[in-house]
């Protein structure tokens, strides 16, 4: 057995089951979906959803990976991904604050909440603070207008918010920073 062959055998035996050749096992979950979808090109949007669920966002590497797997031009995959507002291209922060800016929430002061959080954490809407602690987003009507203004903080729905109450809760979530 040559040195190279021996090394390969040792590497293979050292490799834990399930290791993905990319070095990132999260791709395995995307691969599983791709296999189930038989690598059909019309599964692009569904595949992007799966990839975003797995990684939390769609990086350029992920978009290229999906494009190769489905034998589609990367430019087309990028075009489709950017067309839909559901996809995000920045890694999410440790915490996420989504402020509903639908009509009911807007008339009850949602903008002041967005501004307050944005100012306090120096984070523009739709982005993540420089230290990675907080992602600030806005959403169209979240379907709970009776609770306006509505904020979703780390998955919890907060009702009848104002800038002060939201900042207090975000501060607690982030750990008193900001």
The residues binding ligand FES (CB under 6 A) are 100, 102-105, 141-145, 148, 150
- Taking the complex as a whole, the smallest distance from the CB of residue 149 to ligand FES amounts, in Å, to 7
**Residue 77 and residue 63 in contact, taking contact as beta carbons nearer than 8 Å:** yes
Nearer to ligand FES, 37 or 145 (CB): 145
User: Could you tell me the smallest distance in angstroms from the CB atom of residue 56 to ligand FES?
Assistant: 24
**Cα–Cα distance measured from residue 49 to residue 156, given in angstroms and rounded to the nearest whole number:** 22
**Cβ neighbours of residue 35 closer than 8 Å, sequence gap 6 or more:** none
CB of 105 to ligand FES, least distance (A): 3
**Which residue of this chain has its Cβ atom nearest to ligand FES in the complex?**
102
Q: By C-beta, is 54 or 145 nearer to ligand FES?
A: 145
Are β-strands 127-128 and 151-153 bridged in parallel, bridged antiparallel, or unpaired?
unpaired
Q: Which is nearer to ligand FES, 126 or 132 (CB)?
A: 126
Sequence-distant (6+) residues with CB within 8 A of 143 are: none
């Amino acid at each position: 057995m040559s040195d190279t062959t021996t090394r390969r055998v040792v590497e293979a035996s050292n490799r834990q089951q399930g290791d993905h050749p990319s070095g990132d096992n999260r791709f395995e979950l995307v691969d599983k979906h791709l296999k189930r979808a038989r690598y059909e090109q019309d599964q692009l949007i569904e595949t992007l959803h799966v990839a975003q669920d797995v990684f939390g966002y769609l990086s350029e590497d992920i978009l290229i990976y999906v494009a190769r797997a489905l034998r589609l031009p990367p430019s087309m995959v990028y075009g489709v991904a950017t067309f839909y507002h559901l996809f995000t291209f920045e890694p999410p922060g440790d915490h996420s604050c989504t402020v509903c800016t639908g009509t009911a929430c807007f008339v009850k002061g949602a903008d002041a909440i967005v501004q307050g959080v944005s100012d306090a954490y120096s984070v523009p809407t739709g982005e993540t603070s420089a230290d990675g602690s907080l992602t600030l987003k806005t959403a169209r009507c979240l379907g709970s207008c009776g609770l306006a203004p509505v904020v979703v903080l780390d998955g919890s729905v907060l009702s009848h918010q104002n800038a002060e109450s939201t900042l207090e809760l975000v501060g607690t979530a982030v750990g008193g920073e900001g």
